[in-house]
Each structure stands twice: as structure tokens, then as C-alpha cells.
Amino acid sequence: LDLLTRALPRPGQAPPPQIVQSKGSRGLRLAGATATALSFPASQIFTNCDHFPAEFSLVATFKIPRLRQKRNEYIFSVLEEGSDLLLLGLRLSENQQGQLWFDVQRKVLFICDGFTWMTLLHNQERLDYVEDYQDLYTNSETFDIEVFSIKSEGLFMAAANRDAHPGSGIYKWTDGSFHLFQNISTREARAWKHFSIDDKDFLVVANSREVEPELSVIYRWSRQRRRFVRHQTLETHSALDWEAFRIHNHSFLVVANHRQDSNHNIHSVIYRWNPNTKLFEVNQTLSTSGAYDWEFFSIGPYHFLVVANTFDGRTTIINSRIYIWMNGCFQTFQDIPTVGATDWEWFQIDGRFFLAVANSQMVPDRGPSVYSINSTVYELNTLTQTFIRFQDILTHSAVDWEFFTVGGDKFLVVGNSHDGVSYSLNSVIYRWQGYEGFVPVHSLPTFGCKDFEHFNTDGRSFLVYSSATSRLSKVFKLKTY
């Protein structure tokens, strides 16, 4: 109204504006007013704003009956006061160009640039609560879920299933939910990892069934057959996890070899892609103790690998090891005491670097196992160049941490699997609250929880969890406001 009183002609000077109805929209007809009459000095309206026009928004709908052909007209412009120098102009030359559209539900203001609707203003979403979205009955118990995209195909999910027949299921996101797309024969599959090399998509599976030789398999996406096809096999030992990473344009894979017969103190292996043979070759071996998980991360120009060592044959109270890439190979960076570590999760918040470990069970030299123990979030101290304890969080046989963001908020979800009595427990979502660290905000009932994955699709946010004790995996929708 303030703007209108300044823009409209004074009573008696011109015919008064009329309210008109046009195809369902109502507005003011400014037939008598010239375009320049709609201008006003910003300094008189935005009196406390030093950064005009960065700190204001105007939403308006214009209806102009006729546009002169081949002439661009500004529907909105900002001029420098006094000099008439154009600072900002919104042109109207094509049908939709320059049009604004406000999505009331998502609270987003769009502008059309003549081709696409671009986001002009976005009210940041916030997590409200978690909704039960899809019950996914997989082929058998599911130890791991990998969500990934294939260009021009869409979103997929690979489930690592226990039974050999029909093996593990690959699901495709179609019409708002996951549907079975392909079954792949696996042997007690424990993990899937998606990666791409030169625009080609690959999936590698960790087969943990003890048969000689134990083979894990790399599959390649065939564009012709629109299926994953076998690409290469690699000898592994009770493999529980694969990690894929790139350093200086080289592609690597590392496998977590858990044990060979009853020996847990064996080698895990790093493989490097040979672009000539298009196969992975052994690059380096690292000694691990009941290796369960690998996580790769980079800080500036430095590259790291961290392994979760679970068990050395006697106890789960052992060190897990962070490695740093130096002189063309991985070397020890830091040992961190862990208790049956099953997962490392790497994440950054506001320029700070964190590693969270999931500690699953305390198996001492003698005495019973304890499942309700602390899992720990570590933060990199850039002065001492070591990871130091940031926060302990009580967990119940924790098997996975997953970091995700919704709008500007950061979250960690932990998969709690067992408390010594039951597999039916709450898994917990924690929200980052700065000085307080991670604070529990939601409890999700899970049964034999094994893995959590977060993904975004269709502009919405989801969590999916898999169960190691039942065929039922669940997709949750993160409801926002």
C-alpha cells in the first residue's frame, strides 16, 4: 500500500485506478498512469537498509495486454538515484520470461529466464517429523543398502541380501517408490558400492560366504542391455565392505577382509584401476583385524582412509587405524581405540571435520559381551593434526552412522541393532546443535537394524533402513515445513 500511494496518480490528476477481474485474477487497472508514475525513490521506503536491493523482495503479477513486437521492456528496474544508471532490470521479451511464480507449499519464489524456472528465493526447509513411507520386502535379510543414480536412467537401490537364490535385489525408483529391477546372484552379500569411471557405472559386491576361492564381483552397467553385467572378480576373505575413491585421476577400490578361516588378523587390499586393461589390479595391502568398514575422505589436498577393526580373535577392544596418502601409498596417520567398530562416518560442519565411529559390542578377554556402550564422534584438531574425542553417545550394538542435511540443519542417525536381549530397538536421529553437539530429536523403531541411507529425490528427502534379521526394509519420508 505504501508503494501504491507513491506510484498512483493523486486524486483529480488522472482517472482513478479501477479494480478489474481478468480470467480468475483480480488487479488494479492503471490505464491512466504512465509507466514512470510507478517509480519511487528507494531511500524513502527502505530507510534502514544499507544494501539495497540485496535485502528486500517484491512479489507482483503484471498483466500487459499488448507488448510491442521485438522490443524488450523492463517490468522492473532499479536505477541509481540521481544518475538514472540502470543497476538491475527485469526484462519482458518472451511469453513467460521475467514472470515470477510463488510455490506456496514449498515457499519458493521462481523467475522464468525464458527457458526454465529458476529459484529466486528459497525458504530453507526444516525437518518436522519422520513418516512411514514404503515397506520394502527384499529377497532375504538385507545387510547393506546402496542408493545411487545412473545418468539418463534415474535412482536405484542395491540391497545386499543373505540368500544365494534369487540373490541380491537392485531396485529402481519409479512413480515415487522402489520397485524390483534386477536380481543378481550373490553369496551372503554384505555390502554394495556404486562408483563410476569415465562415465561408466559400476557396482561391486562384498560376498562373505566361505567357499574356495571366495570371490567378490564387480558389475558394469550395460547401456545396451539396460542391466548390470559381470565385469571382474576379485579374491576376498569374508568381505564385509568395499570403498571406492579417486586420487589424482586414478580410481581405487579397497576391500574389508574380515577373516580367513578363524584368523581375523589378515590383509585388506587396495586395488587400482588399470585404464589399459580396464581391470582392477592389487595396489597395496594393509594389515587389519576383523575389518568391517572402510571410509575414504579428503581434507584439502590430503587423502585419508580409515578402517573399522572389529575383533583380533581375542577381544573387540582394539585400535582402528586412520591412514594418510603419502608418496604414492597409504601410511599410518593415527590409531583410535574402538570397541567392536563396525562403521566410520566422515562429515564436515561449517569448516570443521568429524569422524564418527559405531562401536558394536564389548567382547572382553573374559566375561560376557556388552552391547550398550558409547560410540564416539571425533573432531580433527588442526593444530595437533589429530582427531580428538568430541562427543560420546550411548548406543546399543551400533552398526551404522549416517550423516545428512535437511535445509541448513545437520543430522546423524545411528542404527541400533541389539541390547543383549532384543533386536527390536529405537534407532535415533541426532541434530547438530553447535556447542551442545548432537542432541537426540527423533526415535525410529527398527528391528535388527543394519544400515541407514539418506537420499533426495523429486525434491523430497528420505531415509531407508535395512534389517539383518528380517526381509522388511523400510523407507521413511522426512517431512519438512
Which residue stretch of 130-138, 234-242, 333-341, 414-422 sits at the interface with Ca ion (rule: CB under 5 A)? 234-242
**CA-closest candidate to residue 152, choices 226, 74, 87, 80:** 226
| Shortest Å, Cβ 341 to Ca ion | 12
Q: CA-CA distance, 470 to 347, in Å (whole number)?
A: 30
Tell me how many degrees the CA angle 15-21-22 measures, rounded to the nearest 5: 110
Indicate whether 451 belongs to the interface with Ca ion (CB under 5 A): yes
Among 188, 345, 359, 464, binds Ca ion (CB under 5 A): 345
**CA-closest candidate to residue 330, choices 367, 349, 291, 302:** 302
Indicate whether 343 belongs to the interface with Ca ion (CB under 5 A): yes
| Residues in contact with Ca ion, shown as a per-residue x/- string from 393 to 412 under the rule CB under 5 A | -------xx-----------
Indicate whether 141 belongs to the interface with Ca ion (CB under 5 A): no
Nearer to Ca ion, 99 or 391 (CB): 391
| Shortest Å, Cβ 249 to Ca ion | 22
**CA-closest candidate to residue 276, choices 195, 197, 193:** 197
CB-CB contact of 456 with 110 (8 Å) = no
| Residues in contact with Ca ion, shown as a per-residue x/- string from 236 to 265 under the rule CB under 5 A | -----x-x----------------------
Which residue stretch of 11-19, 23-31, 44-52, 235-243 sits at the interface with Ca ion (rule: CB under 5 A)? 235-243
Nearer to Ca ion, 125 or 201 (CB): 201
What residues have CB less than 8 Å from 251, skipping those under 6 apart?
A: 195, 197, 244, 245, 272, 273
> Which 3 state secondary structure label does DSSP give 368?
coil
Nearer to Ca ion, 100 or 170 (CB): 170
CB-CB contact of 239 with 207 (8 Å) = yes
Q: CA-CA distance, 444 to 427, in Å (whole number)?
A: 5
| Shortest Å, Cβ 243 to Ca ion | 5
Which residue stretch of 16-24, 81-89, 166-174, 450-458 sits at the interface with Ca ion (rule: CB under 5 A)? 450-458
Nearer to Ca ion, 6 or 442 (CB): 442
| Shortest Å, Cβ 75 to Ca ion | 49
Q: How does DSSP classify residue 351?
A: T
Position of cell 532384543? 422
Among 280, 293, 321, 356, binds Ca ion (CB under 5 A): 293
Q: Which amino acid is at 108?
A: V
Radius of gyration of the chain (CA): 29
Residue 382 C-alpha cell reads as 588442526
The number of residues that bind Ca ion (CB under 5 A) is 9
| Shortest Å, Cβ 347 to Ca ion | 10
- Interacting residues with Ca ion (CB under 5 A): 144, 241, 243, 293, 343, 345, 400-401, 451
